[in-house]
Amino acid sequence: LDCADDDLWHEDETLWEGSKEVLDKSSDMDREWQRRRDQFHRLEKKLLHKMGSILASKSLSL
């Protein structure tokens, strides 16, 4: 555990005593962010592949 992590400390520098529910929400948000990031990168990869195919076919027709 990195005690310097700002998420775990209050402004008065006491250790955060959050409930498990709050921790679960944070974990859910982290998982959702990861899922959306992965989804974005998959879509980006598909679009770049599609654009590459279109450009290649255009250059062949010239």
End-to-end CA gap in the chain: 60
pLDDT of residue 20: 59
The chain-wide mean pLDDT, for the chain, equals 77
**Stated pTM of the model:** 0.50
Q: What is the mean pLDDT of residues 18-24?
A: 61
pLDDT of residue 19: 56
